[in-house]
Chain A
């Protein structure tokens, strides 16, 4: 508990020491979280009332413990990674500050502390993204992301103010107990959904987050990923546990938004050329998938079917953890690639696997988990999400059933496109032949943090039953019962809370698949012993450089672009090169992708806002006389209003 405050301490002069302390603190945090979720101990840190607005505590209970564990583990890994190649003092400070703020958000039980920490996160993210001013596009990304986050924060503030007005307190506990909220409950839901969604990247705010990832220096992109967990926590705590149960349209809305977010996220991701932005959009996609599970949980809650709610919430939480760990690993590995090759772009890379083997393995594990490949963690959690969505027949409402079914279909589509996208990413970086010849390629550092995280990610799938036991205990308070009992059947086989519906045995898979591969390889090697002769690649009898004739990452994703050309508004032109060239026939290929979302939603929105602000600018005429007039008007209005209000 004291670990909470003391360990994750802020700015120190000595960066390395700060990072080391930060790492240690995060690890302790993780321990606290695990313990809290498992129910072994509940810790609480009282903050008294000196912050105002009633007494505040920093507690770690079951639900919070889960999130603390996730934040702590990933934070520790990132801190260790940063430790190996320390960034500037400023960046290290911000990294630690973000971790502290996220931990506070998770631990807070009072709205004011929550909001304070939340805004700290927003501010730190902005500063982090803008810290490297020389990087092209960084400032714009930072500004855009921060603006969207600010709007989200404003929405949160509005929601809290509303609830304060109704209940007279800022404490979450009192809000949970209130029964006569009426319309405020739903309004609060919408505001909270928007506010927390802006941190996750929910539609329509999805374009804000990925550029932040691209702009963040070095491994701190992973830190931003950790920060997005705060948004999920808010939803879990405030919407599910505090405001719920609500009407069924809550679940419907979340399902629809989640499905769209997932689809849009992966469609954007497939066309990205920068690795960090790609991973950012993939985070948006997975955020959508997590929300699908959450939507099912809300539906179950509103229909008073605790099993359904448990199925949904379990799926969502499981995916949250799997994704969080795998994405952090992916970001750290991407940073290693960028460090080794000097570029964050996909196009000039290729064939790096033999030269950066450790990074390749780490990245590979992350990619396999994110692309939902068995027997890894991502597969298990997406299976759970599917199964939760397939329980639609248990609901009475046709609308909800239909929406759940559609959401399942969209989930399948995103899973397919996701596989394509990650194949493009991994293949484009590590496989094939190098597209540009890079010399002096070495592993940038020992990668202890990355290695540790990689081991965890590797084992996640097989260790799923134990994770679910732990999660079950943590979610008990929110759900009202421990779902682990009905989920885990004999022995080490999982089902989606409902028994006899369907089964998955990830532990057996995790043991079986490698065993199968190993046995086959041994049989071939030892018993069959075929003679092997290596010959050059067959290319119709020609022998140009093989790098010339292999698929580029963009062309690999081209069919999707062509098939969905209306969504992408894909333009392609062949122009003669500027400045002429020796060969009269030479042409330059230029492509542009204008995602429909930006064209049809953001574009008009921005245009409207600019027009409105242009109009209001007229009020600022700059002349002293006009301002005096304004002062006079306000005075008269105030003089008129005050008596009127006083009388009523």
Chain B
């Protein structure tokens, strides 16, 4: 068991103190909960501040409209391992200098802020309404006699979540692809307002069901940080177990979908069997196949229904089967041929759009919130960030298959020394006020929550979804690929519209 959760392939930049870096922008350090660093900048300087950070390797992780301590624009920037919160008080203004010229990762968040809250980014080139979208009208990107449009979605060919892709093609290859999320917009951020903490956890679990544990973890972390609560050790370890089981299930799901696309029926069936085993294990642990009802602010809502040794025995059998299936899958040429070279992304695109998750890790970007900004039991339980340099669909699959092995390793570590910890599952949560960021590594990337708590109730809550951050990369991933590669590239991304649309 390692005590230092560092990854071997992180770039060592010249460490600069952000406060000094942003001094020209009149940045002021604010009180921040542990793990976060808050800086206040004037609204007019926010683009300059972000530019300084981006130039030194920072990545824009979230752009929120927050209410505490006053209505402000909050830009969460992942900078040299920390999460910097740049807060710019609005002071009644409705306009702000657009951040999209600094980094394209700001494009979608700014459009969302504009559509939902009426904040106008000055200088943003693309302010067509995104939320909620009209299914019948879409702008054309390519002009030419020979091109025509395939509106793929929102109802798609198969049992999939609803999202629309506007594909412009001249018959074989994809000339331009527009991703239109927000067909499933449920205004869940608003739903949290005024809700007590126990109810709020239920909502957080249902923002994106397949990443429900990660979302609930991020929410609970945010509340615990805001109120200065430390969950019990036992609860933290079990949180990690559930989070990793969720990660395994997601990665297996990607393998199932890719194998189905390649018409590899037995392969798809085998991986579906493995995924079903994990889902049943989760149901045995907590009564819900999606890990619902496990987390609560301060720890766990209820104890596990299975002994750790039962879980480990099941996972041992699972791992034996997985190894054989994984080896066979990667040796099946008719399958790997479809993935190699499809949907290639380069590193610049990832950096531009601040991509996260396996999509980023497949391009050599070592971004993983578990090990960059360790939270919960990850501080003690270590693992390796897996990166490859391929950048194509095959790389993304390889990263995921490797991570399944890593997750099993993490679960085993989490169970070690569990008997040394006290039996308490939940720490007390004081009835005080506070506001903080919380983050967790969902299977598709880092999810960030901003939670404001007052009188035991949630105030303003904002979510930065990894699926929404990665979706602009999807449009970029089509370079000379044909329509038949579409399914492979889409499934290799493994994103969820429910999380993106909220």
Q: Which residues from chain A sit less than 8 Å from chain B, CB to CB?
A: 347, 539-544, 548-552, 554-559, 562, 572, 574, 577, 583-591
With an 8 A cutoff between CB atoms, is B146 at the interface? yes
Q: Is the CB of B175 within 8 A of A589?
A: yes
Q: Is the CB of B171 within 8 A of A549?
A: no
Closest chain A residue to B138, Cβ basis: A544
Q: Is the CB of B171 within 8 A of A551?
A: yes
| Chain B residues with CB below 8 A from A562, complex form | 172-173
Main SS at interface, chain B: loop
Q: Is the CB of A555 within 8 A of B170?
A: yes
| Cα(A542)–Cα(B165), bound, Å | 11
Q: Which residues from chain B sit less than 8 Å from chain A, CB to CB?
A: 125-126, 135-157, 164, 169-173, 175-176
| Cα(A569)–Cα(B137), bound, Å | 36
| Cα(A536)–Cα(B338), bound, Å | 35
Known: A559-B172, A589-B144, A589-B170. 15 other contacts (CB 8 A): A540-B151, A540-B152, A542-B136, A544-B138, A549-B148, A552-B171, A554-B145, A554-B146, A556-B171, A572-B170, A584-B126, A587-B176, A589-B146, A590-B144, A591-B146
| Given A541-B155, A544-B137, A584-B126: A555 and B169 interface contact (C-beta under 8 Å) | yes
With beta carbons under 8 angstroms apart, the residue of A540, A552, A591 that contacts B148 is: A552
Whole-angstrom distance between the Cβ of B101 and the nearest chain A Cβ: 12
Q: Is the CB of B142 within 8 A of A544?
A: no
13 cross-chain CB contacts under 8 A: A540-B153, A542-B135, A543-B136, A554-B146, A555-B148, A555-B172, A557-B171, A558-B146, A558-B170, A562-B173, A586-B140, A587-B143, A588-B144
Q: Is the CB of B141 within 8 A of A586?
A: yes
Most chain A CB within 10 A, of B154, B170, B172, is at: B170
| Given A544-B137, A552-B145: A585 and B126 interface contact (C-beta under 8 Å) | yes
Closest chain B residue to A559, Cβ basis: B172
Whole-angstrom distance between the Cβ of B301 and the nearest chain A Cβ: 38
Q: Is the CB of A585 within 8 A of B169?
A: no
| Chain B residues with CB below 8 A from A572, complex form | 170
Whole-angstrom distance between the Cβ of A348 and the nearest chain B Cβ: 8
Q: Is the CB of A589 within 8 A of B148?
A: no
Most chain A CB within 10 A, of B139, B148, B157, B164, is at: B148
| Given A539-B151, A585-B141, A589-B170: A555 and B146 interface contact (C-beta under 8 Å) | yes
| Cα(A25)–Cα(B155), bound, Å | 65
Whole-angstrom distance between the Cβ of A20 and the nearest chain B Cβ: 41
Closest chain A residue to B183, Cβ basis: A541
Whole-angstrom distance between the Cβ of A589 and the nearest chain B Cβ: 3
With beta carbons under 8 angstroms apart, the residue of A549, A558, A587 that contacts B150 is: A549
Q: Is the CB of B171 within 8 A of A540?
A: no
| Cα(A422)–Cα(B300), bound, Å | 69
Q: Is the CB of B147 within 8 A of A555?
A: yes
| Chain A residues with CB below 8 A from B155, complex form | 540-541
| Cα(A574)–Cα(B169), bound, Å | 12
Closest chain A residue to B156, Cβ basis: A540
Closest chain B residue to A547, Cβ basis: B148
Closest chain B residue to A548, Cβ basis: B149
| Chain A residues with CB below 8 A from B142, complex form | 574, 586-589
| Chain A residues with CB below 8 A from B173, complex form | 562
| Chain B residues with CB below 8 A from A557, complex form | 171
| Chain B residues with CB below 8 A from A556, complex form | 171
Q: Is the CB of A589 within 8 A of B143?
A: yes
| Chain A residues with CB below 8 A from B146, complex form | 347, 552, 554-555, 558, 589, 591
| Chain B residues with CB below 8 A from A574, complex form | 142, 175-176
Closest chain A residue to B137, Cβ basis: A544
Whole-angstrom distance between the Cβ of B214 and the nearest chain A Cβ: 30
Whole-angstrom distance between the Cβ of A114 and the nearest chain B Cβ: 46
Whole-angstrom distance between the Cβ of A452 and the nearest chain B Cβ: 36
Q: Is the CB of B147 within 8 A of A589?
A: yes
| Cα(A587)–Cα(B178), bound, Å | 13
| Chain A residues with CB below 8 A from B151, complex form | 539-540, 542, 544, 549
User: Which are the 7 A-B pairs with shortest beta-carbon distances?
Assistant: A558-B171, A555-B171, A589-B144, A554-B146, A541-B155, A584-B125, A347-B145
With beta carbons under 8 angstroms apart, the residue of B126, B154, B169, B170 that contacts A540 is: B154
| Cα(A204)–Cα(B147), bound, Å | 33
| Cα(A554)–Cα(B170), bound, Å | 8
Closest chain A residue to B125, Cβ basis: A584
Whole-angstrom distance between the Cβ of A515 and the nearest chain B Cβ: 38
| Cα(A475)–Cα(B141), bound, Å | 61
| Cα(A587)–Cα(B144), bound, Å | 9
Whole-angstrom distance between the Cβ of A106 and the nearest chain B Cβ: 43
Whole-angstrom distance between the Cβ of A131 and the nearest chain B Cβ: 29
| Chain B residues with CB below 8 A from A549, complex form | 148-151
Whole-angstrom distance between the Cβ of A379 and the nearest chain B Cβ: 28
